[in-house]
Amino acid sequence: MFCEKAMELIRELHRMNDGQLPAFNEDGLRQVLQEMESLYEQNQADVNEAKGEGRADLIPSIKLRHCCLLRNQRCLVAYLYDRLLRIRALRWEYGSVLPPNIRFHMCSEELQWFSQYKKSLASFMRSLGAGEGLDITQDMKPPKSLYIQVRCLKDHGELEIDDGTVILLKKNSQHFLPRWKCEQLIRQGVLEHVVS
């Protein structure tokens, strides 16, 4: 049956229902487009014949191929769109810099889209609060205190805080840091929030 390749793309995404981004399936996409091209060509030929030689009996087959064209189109659009939703989520979960193993799974248009999304989000956040700017990716939960206790889960190098002090984030070391400095690092699994 037609459209099996397109279904493969959809299944691939559906299997990873937690929002992980599988590698961009360029090959699969190309195969679907090829199938669409040949469906279109066959239909074009049959349409000409149906018109020219009055072969109305060809119409059901033309219609069937047309359905397949639309189906393939739907699957491709849904595939690309769902990937964009996942890529957008990455900005909120990882921050503006993505780890290389994730970037590796994106095609160049997706990388471009990510960087534009990043930019519009940044300029929106800068425009808030009468020019002061507001980071809306912070404080996803109402904060209880300005400073929190954290433990380093891995070596992360140096971190500079507001007053200019530089802190070395070494595995297993504990620190008392401004909450807003830590939130993203906690989300990324670098730090762990220690609750006494």
Q: Which residues pair with 149 in a beta bridge?
A: 176, 194
Q: Which of residues 164 and 167 has its CB atom nearest to other proteins in the complex?
A: 167
Residue 155 carries which side chain, given as an amino acid letter? D
Which residues in 126-145 contact other proteins (CB under 8 A)? 140-142, 144
Q: Which of 93, 109, 135, 160 binds other proteins (CB under 8 A)?
A: 93
Burial class (CB in 10 A: 0-12, 13-18, 19+), 11: exposed
Q: How many residues bind other proteins (CB under 8 A)?
A: 56
Cα three-residue angle 96-100-106, rounded to 5 degrees: 80
Choose the binding region for other proteins from 112-120, 127-135, 165-173, 188-196 (rule: CB under 8 A). Answer: 188-196
Chain Cα centroid distance, residue 59: 41
34 contacts: CB under 8 Å, gap ≥ 6: none
Q: Is residue 58 part of the contact set for other proteins (CB under 8 A)?
A: yes
Residue 75 interacting with other proteins (CB under 8 A):
yes
The helix/strand/coil state of 56 is helix
74 touching other proteins, by CB under 8 A: yes
H-only helix segments in the chain = 4-15, 26-52, 59-94, 100-103, 108-127, 179-187
Residues that bind other proteins (CB under 8 A): 1-3, 7, 10-11, 13-14, 17-20, 42, 46, 57-58, 60-61, 63-64, 66-68, 70-71, 74-75, 77-78, 81-82, 85-86, 88-90, 92-94, 101-102, 140-142, 144, 148, 179, 182-183, 186-189, 192-193, 195
